[in-house]
Structure 1
Amino acid sequence: MLFKSFFLLLIVIILFMAFSKNIRLFTEQDILQNVNINLVDRNINYLKNVMRCKDGDYIRLFNGRDGEWLCELMDIQSRPFVVPRKIFLSQNSQKKDSIWVIFSLIKSSRSKILIEKATELGASKIIAIKAARSNVKSINLSKATLTSIESAEQCGRITVPQLKYYNSFGSLFQKWPSGRSFIWGDKNSNYTDSKIFINIGGLIIGPEGGFVEEEIKLFQSFSKSQSFSLGELTLRSETAAVVMISIWKLINKL
């Protein structure tokens, strides 16, 4: 009986320590109980110099595959590593494949906002497209991925969206799953029934100048596609993305 009480007290202490700093980090490595995991430089600097962690502190670690784990921090002043001690959230506690968000290239400061919010709102894939009227010609996928990782760490999800880039809608749709439906935002569309968002697979946000005729014809060639109006005002891409994902979440009760 005494041992059981001590064990329960130990678990409470561990949980308290983990939540007291509320540190969540993403790793590419597999997470196995009591198997050491080395930390990348970005995380080492954050733990040592920002959070002022010490040996024996607990953090939460996730990799998008093995759930979220309470991990003990070791050797912080030399070669820091963590040891997974107890699973915190199982992998199937959050839906894996949800909405895909496709956006035409925009300035890096605005694409950062879009990627951050799409991650927080549950997108499983974020795709940047060089549309015909895109003012920006490329995207730094490494920086975009880091933005998504940091957003996932902050918001509590245990997966990180997959990020992709295509140089045209044509190249994207060559690999588009045949049964996956999508909506594209179009200020000139007469369609405003939000029920179209039920079980939708993708949301397409266009450039400031809108889609060209060839792109619209390409969208319309798919049977499971529909234009959708967000109103008379011209929204920035990141604003339109937040609105569309929010409608999707609300309609599907996610």
Structure 2
Amino acid sequence: MIRLHVRSDLSPGAAVALTLEQARYLTQVMRLKAGDDLLVFNGRDGEWRATVAEVLKRGCVLKAEEQVRPQTFGPDLDLILAVVKKARVETVVEKAAELGARRVRLTLTRYTNAERLRMDRLDTIAEEAAEQTGRLDVPEIHDPKKLDALLHGWPEGRRLMFCDERGGPPALEALAEAPEGPWSILIGPEGGFSPEERERLLSLPFATPVSLGPRVLRADTAAISAMTLWQAARGDWKGAHTTTWTQGT
């Protein structure tokens, strides 16, 4: 069944407003008519069955009928990605949404070769991936911020999985003994971290350096691999039916 992420509050009988693009997709691409069903979610009120209440010349209106799933959230996992080529950033954002990241934070490092990014485009990619995967929230995509600033304001209690291109303990081995709670994964630029950046990262008490194997990986491959390993060791791939996650900040 079609799933859409919407902004409207969801409750029995509530009218659900759509963007013009969403309305065109439903009526012109998917050919929905008045009375047809679909699923909607807003990241706050769970997932709802809705019906097409009215088809207009320039849009359509939905009506929320009943909640089919209560609101849940995945693990409190941030992916921090040093900005790389635009196409690769877009791929990482899509896969981060599919793999359950709560947020994607873009960062600028000494060796970052930044391209101009369209943040609205990244938001759309995250939204579409969330619709496709069945998750009930959409990951937040944060504007690029210098690595020093991110580390300086680091939240208390959050761990950092630092993917060290120069080696370290295997990720699964390192994560096996790591504490529960909120985590971030840091992926560096194609040129790697500068010696000063790496030295600082290794000195941080909340950082866990890990290796992603014997081969040199591109940033997008490293991000996907790291999220997969973390989810298997610490996320909702482990004990998915018994672990309860909170929304966090």
TM-score normalised according to structure 1 size: 0.86
Q: Tell me if structure 2 keeps the 8 A contact 1:119–1:148.
A: yes
Q: Tell me if structure 1 keeps the 8 A contact 2:6–2:17.
A: no
Q: Tell me if structure 2 keeps the 8 A contact 1:132–1:211.
A: yes
Please say which structure displays the higher CA radius of gyration: 1
**1:218 shift after superposition:** 2.9
Matched, 1:66 2:48: no
Q: Tell me if structure 1 keeps the 8 A contact 2:77–2:102.
A: yes
Which residue is 2:12 aligned to? 33
CA RMSD of aligned residues (A): 1.6
Q: Tell me if structure 2 keeps the 8 A contact 1:98–1:122.
A: no
**1:156 shift after superposition:** 0.5
Equivalent residue in structure 1 for 2:208, among 207, 215, 226: 226
The 2-side partners of 1:83 and 1:63 are apart by 14
Which residue is 1:42 aligned to? 21
Which residue is 1:82 aligned to? 62
The 2-side partners of 1:196 and 1:138 are apart by 35
Q: Tell me if structure 1 keeps the 8 A contact 2:161–2:209.
A: yes
**1:220 shift after superposition:** 2.7
Q: Tell me if structure 2 keeps the 8 A contact 1:29–1:63.
A: yes
Q: Tell me if structure 1 keeps the 8 A contact 2:85–2:115.
A: no
**1:137 shift after superposition:** 4.2
Supply the AA of the counterpart residue of 1:24.
Answer: R
**1:247 shift after superposition:** 0.6
Q: How many correspondences in the alignment?
A: 231
Matched, 1:100 2:82: no
What aligned pairs does 1:88-237 form with structure 2 within 5 A after superposition?
88-92=68-72, 94-95=73-74, 97-197=75-175, 198=178, 199=180, 201-237=183-219
The 1-side partners of 2:196 and 2:120 are apart by 31
Q: Tell me if structure 1 keeps the 8 A contact 2:83–2:144.
A: no
The 1-side partners of 2:60 and 2:114 are apart by 40
Equivalent residue in structure 2 for 1:245, among 221, 227, 237: 227
The 2-side partners of 1:146 and 1:246 are apart by 23
Supply the AA of the counterpart residue of 2:60.
Answer: P
Gaps of 5+ in 2: 241-249
The 1-side partners of 2:186 and 2:27 are apart by 41
TM-score normalised according to structure 2 size: 0.87
Query: SS state of the match for residue 163, structure 1?
Result: strand
Query: SS state of the match for residue 52, structure 1?
Result: coil
Q: What per-residue deviation string (whole Å, max 9, x for no partner) do you get for residues 75-102 of structure 1?
A: 223341111101011003x43x421101
Q: What per-residue deviation string (whole Å, max 9, x for no partner) do you get for residues 8-46 of structure 1?
A: xxxxxxxxxxxxxx1000012211210111110121111
Supply the AA of the counterpart residue of 1:167.
Answer: K
Sequence identity percentage: 29
**1:164 shift after superposition:** 0.7
Q: Which moved more, 1:213-222 or 1:163-172?
A: 213-222
Query: SS state of the match for residue 116, structure 1?
Result: helix
Matched, 1:57 2:39: no
Gaps of 5+ in 1: 1-21
